[in-house]
A and B are shown apart, each in its own frame.
Chain A
């Protein structure tokens, strides 16, 4: 038998939960009323929410809440009777009134009292509204003594005494406080309370679609089939299931070693049951995303109102379910994005009208499952992101250089808004533009293994796409071995596995200035050796001589693919993610640890962190990133390229448009002029540049056996220079996509041309380093490097 205090506590707890849910509902119904989407039942629902709060608070001796609730209730009762007309000020005041109740409730939760806030101004407003409407009415209800709250804590113990023999005072109809307007069927109040525990909570405008009367029946059945469970309890259950999964893995592994039929049968059953149990427990933690979204209509209304904008919010996929830990984690980022969309995205009605758009901006929230992940899209039809302004801002904040800004692709420019310390708001508003914003959104979403992408079109709107995993606690992972240690790679970042036998590996893995790459279906895949990155040592495959089979795990991080070479690929397994201690928090390469079937600990690789560590992707968008996009931009145009060899097996290319002539000279014709090698050519002196000297490849020209030199003559502003190459291979017309960026001078990047890795020679850079005066002595050359 619980003591009185315990019961009181429990009742207050119930009051808090019910009231907060009720108030959320109150908000939704209020907004429906404002939009004229109300059903005949809407005023009743609104009234009952407040009525219940008032009643329960009264029972528990929470006099301040009770008295504040009472004032609003009077107004609402007039509303219900159709004696007040719905006006925006009325709605705003009533919403503020709901906030006041919330404030008192949260103070009750956090501090154990109703708080010392003075609501007399608000109450005065409510009374004024009421007085205005009841001027015609005869039954003016006298204003209660709301401004004089009774000290709540003192009142608590006495409040309890009423209910010794009635442990469920949540039925407010029984309280003596209520004299007017008996709440019809108090059971209904319990319906929204229970519903969120069952997976599909009514989220849009619940119950309003049902005629009154039917709601009552529905609610009763919901109350019969659902119970309220403490989240802590569920978390504990989840942890236990995690342990069970590990124990199961161990037993399954051992039973395979012991040839005992009954043991094998039992372990198989255990296996199946554990899997089912795991799924069921996961399901209990699943909540529809609508639970988070429920508060957005209110936020949208408030923000839009403050900024003098009109916004219509459309929400699709309310019922999409995800783990509650993730729901918690995305709440703030989503709120921020929505605020941003209204603040920066959607224009004022005047501007919209000028642009031929409807006054009312459209904001669409959409959630759906796809490929084991939850996708959330936030779309607005506002002005879109102004790229030049974004770039300007980034320049101003020294986040990028002028050079980068000029070369940046649109998509890359959009992503600038995710950089720390970036904000485009011209003036800092109350809502956004404080410089803490999208970077935090991005970090928070990435923290839970998600990703953010942004698309925008000028004057058409902006779409932000978020992808997040369903759950964090138990994930499928690939187990690999490297340097005698096992590592788990989360399946979400895994694209495919490639195994190269020794012979294939020798041929297939090519080197670009020491950086190994592999051609995967014509695409260059940078390779990262796990044992090298993690400094494991020991194993042979350090990127040097390859004389055994090579296992490549193809991974994706931040939109970039790369291959990770490991010693062995073991198996896929469901693993339970456990956090690392704070001593290890600084290691970006690991996302956590898990316990394997044999009871040993294995580290979980953080693919993005590892890619950053290996410099496959870079945290700061530097030169090479923009170079890549420069390549992408060029990709669509077909180019005619001259292919040639410089040294052993290194093919290079230059655009044919840069080539004046191809010539052959016997070596004996080389003369010297100062430090330069020159030849006489068409009555002029042609300086020679040996390409191999400037791009640091393996060997000198392979054609040195013959007496003839292959020279590519390049002309600019009436001056010529001869590029000495090994051998001319071919002329091809190809759409060149630069696949890999090179940090080396003289190379613009690399591409696959005719199934060979080909470096694109940066002619201007080579000539500049060979003869700095070549360009400067004449007029400035046009468009060479760009």
Chain B
């Protein structure tokens, strides 16, 4: 048994992120959304996931990244959290990758802002770096 993990990967503003595949319930294309007035801007809206109402969080806003272009429709990465399913809106979906723990490193000290809180580790892949997000912290907007 080797120490490797599977991650569901996606792109946001050119950055390569991943969440543990076991945390992911499903990935769906863009859904119509109902905006929630007065709510935090990070919350893009509510979607109907087969009768279940799921809150969609815009990861660009969550991660303090520039807003998405008007014409670009985000994808939903629906993750399981302690409080039920939550959708994370991302630019583009990548592959599910299996990576060995050897290439993992703690996030560099120079990583600042909200990313410092949410990124739990960096995997040094051949072509690029994969940033791993802590899903519980990501969906907890109070943190």
Binding site for B on A (CB under 8 A): 242-243, 246, 483, 485, 534-536, 578, 580-584, 587, 589-590, 593-595, 599-603
- Contact-residue size bin, chain B (C-beta under 8 Å from the other chain): 20 to 34
* Bound-complex Cα distance A591 to B41 (A): 20
* Bound-complex Cα distance A88 to B105 (A): 73
- Give every chain A residue within 8 A of B118 (Cβ-Cβ): none
Contact of B83 with A582 in the complex, beta carbons under 8 Å: yes
B53's partner among A243, A534, A578, A589 (CB-CB below 8 A) is A578
Contact of B51 with A243 in the complex, beta carbons under 8 Å: yes
Contact of B53 with A485 in the complex, beta carbons under 8 Å: no
Q: Pick from B6-14, B30-38, B90-98 the stretch touching chain A.
A: B30-38
Contact of B43 with A601 in the complex, beta carbons under 8 Å: no
Contact of B83 with A581 in the complex, beta carbons under 8 Å: yes
Contact of B40 with A583 in the complex, beta carbons under 8 Å: yes
* Bound-complex Cα distance A590 to B86 (A): 18
Contact of B51 with A595 in the complex, beta carbons under 8 Å: yes
Contact of B32 with A246 in the complex, beta carbons under 8 Å: no
The CB with the most chain A CB atoms within 10 A, among B34, B35, B40, B47, is that of: B34
* Bound-complex Cα distance A555 to B58 (A): 35
Q: A583-B43, A583-B139, A595-B48 are in contact. Are A601 and B38 (CB under 8 A)?
A: no
The reply on B55 being an interface residue by CB < 8 A is yes
- Give every chain B residue within 8 A of A243 (Cβ-Cβ): 51
Give 9 closest A-B pairs by Cβ, nearest first: A534-B37, A581-B55, A601-B34, A601-B46, A582-B83, A578-B53, A243-B51, A593-B53, A583-B141
The reply on B84 being an interface residue by CB < 8 A is yes
Interface positions, chain B 7-27, Cβ under 8 Å from A, are none
- Give every chain A residue within 8 A of B1 (Cβ-Cβ): none
Contact of A581 with B86 in the complex, beta carbons under 8 Å: yes
**15 more A-B residue pairs beyond the given contacts A583-B43, A601-B47, with a C-beta to C-beta distance below 8 A:** A485-B37, A535-B37, A578-B52, A578-B53, A580-B55, A581-B54, A583-B57, A584-B39, A590-B36, A594-B53, A595-B48, A599-B48, A600-B32, A603-B34, A603-B36
- Chain A residue nearest to B35 (CB atoms) is A485
Contact of B53 with A580 in the complex, beta carbons under 8 Å: yes
Binding site for A on B (CB under 8 A): 32-40, 43, 45-48, 51-55, 57, 83-84, 86, 139-141
Q: Show 20 A/B contacts (Cβ-Cβ < 8 Å), sorted by A.
A: A246-B51, A483-B37, A485-B34, A534-B37, A535-B38, A581-B84, A582-B83, A583-B86, A583-B139, A584-B36, A584-B39, A584-B55, A590-B36, A593-B46, A593-B53, A594-B53, A601-B33, A601-B48, A603-B34, A603-B46
Contact of B86 with A587 in the complex, beta carbons under 8 Å: no
- Give every chain B residue within 8 A of A584 (Cβ-Cβ): 36, 39, 43, 55
A600's partner among B37, B38, B48 (CB-CB below 8 A) is B48
* Bound-complex Cα distance A594 to B53 (A): 8
- Give every chain A residue within 8 A of B141 (Cβ-Cβ): 583
- Give every chain A residue within 8 A of B51 (Cβ-Cβ): 242-243, 246, 595
- Chain A residue nearest to B33 (CB atoms) is A601
* Bound-complex Cα distance A631 to B33 (A): 47
* Bound-complex Cα distance A581 to B34 (A): 14
- Give every chain B residue within 8 A of A595 (Cβ-Cβ): 48, 51, 53
Contact of B37 with A601 in the complex, beta carbons under 8 Å: no
* Bound-complex Cα distance A485 to B38 (A): 13
- Give every chain B residue within 8 A of A242 (Cβ-Cβ): 51
* Bound-complex Cα distance A246 to B48 (A): 11
- Give every chain B residue within 8 A of A599 (Cβ-Cβ): 48
B38's partner among A246, A483, A583, A589 (CB-CB below 8 A) is A589
A565 to chain B, nearest CB (A): 15
The CB with the most chain A CB atoms within 10 A, among B32, B47, B48, B57, is that of: B48
- Chain B residue nearest to A244 (CB atoms) is B51
- Give every chain A residue within 8 A of B57 (Cβ-Cβ): 583
* Bound-complex Cα distance A707 to B19 (A): 82
- Give every chain B residue within 8 A of A602 (Cβ-Cβ): 34
- Chain A residue nearest to B54 (CB atoms) is A581
* Bound-complex Cα distance A593 to B36 (A): 10
- Give every chain B residue within 8 A of A483 (Cβ-Cβ): 37
* Bound-complex Cα distance A503 to B23 (A): 58
Contact of A583 with B55 in the complex, beta carbons under 8 Å: yes
- Give every chain B residue within 8 A of A601 (Cβ-Cβ): 33-34, 45-48, 53
- Give every chain B residue within 8 A of A600 (Cβ-Cβ): 32, 34, 48
- Give every chain A residue within 8 A of B40 (Cβ-Cβ): 583
Q: A583-B86, A599-B48, A600-B32 are in contact. Are A536 and B55 (CB under 8 A)?
A: no
- Give every chain A residue within 8 A of B45 (Cβ-Cβ): 601
* Bound-complex Cα distance A582 to B142 (A): 10
- Give every chain A residue within 8 A of B48 (Cβ-Cβ): 595, 599-601
B49 to chain A, nearest CB (A): 10
- Give every chain A residue within 8 A of B43 (Cβ-Cβ): 583-584
- Give every chain A residue within 8 A of B37 (Cβ-Cβ): 483, 485, 534-536, 589, 603
- Give every chain B residue within 8 A of A535 (Cβ-Cβ): 37-38
B137 to chain A, nearest CB (A): 13
* Bound-complex Cα distance A587 to B48 (A): 20
B42 to chain A, nearest CB (A): 8
* Bound-complex Cα distance A465 to B31 (A): 46
- Give every chain A residue within 8 A of B34 (Cβ-Cβ): 485, 593, 600-603
